[in-house]
Amino acid sequence: MTTMTAQATQVYQLFIKATPEQIWEALTKPEFTERYFHGSQIEITAERRRSLGPDGSVRGDSPTYEYDPPRRLVHGWRSLYDPELAEEPESRVTWEIEPQEGGYCKLTVVHDRLEDSPKTAEGVSGAGWMMVLSGLKTLLETGQPLAETGKEA
Amino acid sequence: MSDDDRVFKALADPTRRHLLDRLFERDGRTLTELESELEMTRFGVMKHLRVLEEAGIVVTRRQGREKHHYLNPVPIRLIHDRWIDKYAEPRVSALAELKTRLEETG
């Protein structure tokens, strides 16, 4: 097994059979996010991104830097659900939605500025973002959340 | 060709798997960096990167004049969920458990 340090810039891309508006809604409205984002109720406005756990605890509260529905969204990221991660400096998440042929959209997620937040980088890398994104895809394409997404990772 | 076909085709070549391993170690490399580690022409490396890009396993982002290559693990994950997990997981974990037990007692 190759060992690695989690990357300071992480890129994830996938195709989802949905309209840009549907994807935008699923990213920014808590009634959707709680079905694929580890049960978190996430609300993103032009000003802030707030994330609450099912128990009402604050999992994230960061500024929104770009808010261009339904194409581009940039917000800060601090993992407040874990004290060790919460101490690390804020990183940044960029969402890009590009319509494709055949009713698909290309969704690109870039989590960067993780140079000084190695624990956060490790926590979100690989299975972390992947679980969220495959859950989002399944929810939008079938209307059903993935079986595992209800529980906390 | 379906998405799955493109991913399998992209993975079915030792040079392309080598490029993926290089990106796994450190992401965001330029063509020049990737090329310097391979006994291959720039054109050859570009051709392989294009196949990886078409399969969605490699995503490029421009930064100024430079084009950086990033490993996108999502398509491989989807292949894993669809084609590997289903067939291998229960048996593999049973065998792994057996191995652990035998080695503990032995």
CATH of the domain at A69: 3.30.530.20
Q: What is the mean pLDDT of residues A39-63?
A: 96
A104 at the B interface (CB within 8 A)? no
Which pair of structure tokens corresponds to residue A111? 């989590």
Domain count, chain A: 1
Supply the Cα-derived Rg of chain B in whole angstroms: 18
**Between B91 and B48, whose confidence is greater?**
B48
Q: What is the mean pLDDT of chain A?
A: 90
Say what percent of chain A tops pLDDT 90: 81
Residue A150 covered by a domain: no
Cα–Cα distance list, A114 to A62, A118, B10 (Å): 15, 7, 29
Task: Measure A47 CA to nearest chain B CA, in Å.
Answer: 27
| Secondary structure (3-state) at A49 | strand
Q: What is the mean pLDDT of residues A43-72?
A: 97
**Between B66 and B78, whose confidence is greater?**
B66
Which pair of structure tokens corresponds to residue B3? 């998405």
Task: Check residue B106 and give its pLDDT.
Answer: 56
Taking the whole predicted model, whether its pTM rises above 0.80 is answered as: yes
A2 chain-B contacts, CB cut-off 8 A: 21, 24-25
Contacts of B41 (CB under 8 A, 6+ apart): none
Q: What is the mean pLDDT of residues B14-19?
A: 95
Q: What interface predicted TM-score (ipTM) does this complex get? A: 0.76
Nearest to A12 among B3, B74, B81 (CB): B74
A1 pLDDT exceeds 60?
A: no
Residue A151 covered by a domain: no
- The residue in chain B having the minimum alpha-carbon distance to the alpha carbon of residue A135 is B78
Nearest to B24 among A4, A13, A15 (CB): A4
Which pair of structure tokens corresponds to residue A76? 């800060």
Residue A99 covered by a domain: yes
Query: For residue A152, what pLDDT band results from cuts at 50, 70 and 90?
Result: very low
Task: Measure A122 CA to nearest chain B CA, in Å.
Answer: 14
Listed range (A41-45, B58-62, B67-71, B88-92) with the worst mean pLDDT: B88-92
**Between A45 and B92, whose confidence is greater?**
A45
- What is the domain range of residue A92? 10-143
A126 at the B interface (CB within 8 A)? yes
What does the alpha-carbon distance between residue A41 and residue A53 come to, in Å, rounded to a whole number?
Answer: 6
Please provide residue A124's backbone torsions phi and psi, each rounded to the nearest 5 degrees: -90, -15
Task: Check residue A52 and give its pLDDT.
Answer: 97
Task: Check residue A147 and give its pLDDT.
Answer: 58
- The residue in chain A having the minimum alpha-carbon distance to the alpha carbon of residue B23 is A7
Residue A4 covered by a domain: no
Contacts of A118 (CB under 8 A, 6+ apart): A5, A6, A88
Other C-beta atoms within 10 Å of B33: how many?
13
A126 chain-B contacts, CB cut-off 8 A: 73
Query: For residue A151, what pLDDT band results from cuts at 50, 70 and 90?
Result: very low
A110 at the B interface (CB within 8 A)? yes
CB contact under 8 Å between A11 and B25, yes or no, is no
Task: Map out the domains of chain B with their CATH numbers.
Answer: 3-105 (1.10.10.10)
Q: What is the mean pLDDT of residues A5-28?
A: 93
A5 pLDDT exceeds 70?
A: no
Contacts of A89 (CB under 8 A, 6+ apart): A116, A117
Query: For residue B18, what pLDDT band results from cuts at 50, 70 and 90?
Result: very high
Residue A149 covered by a domain: no
- pLDDT tens readout for residues A126-135: 788 998 998 9
Say what the alpha-carbon torsion angle A67, A37, A117, A96 is, to the nearest 10 degrees.
-30
What does the alpha-carbon distance between residue A92 and residue A100 come to, in Å, rounded to a whole number?
Answer: 26
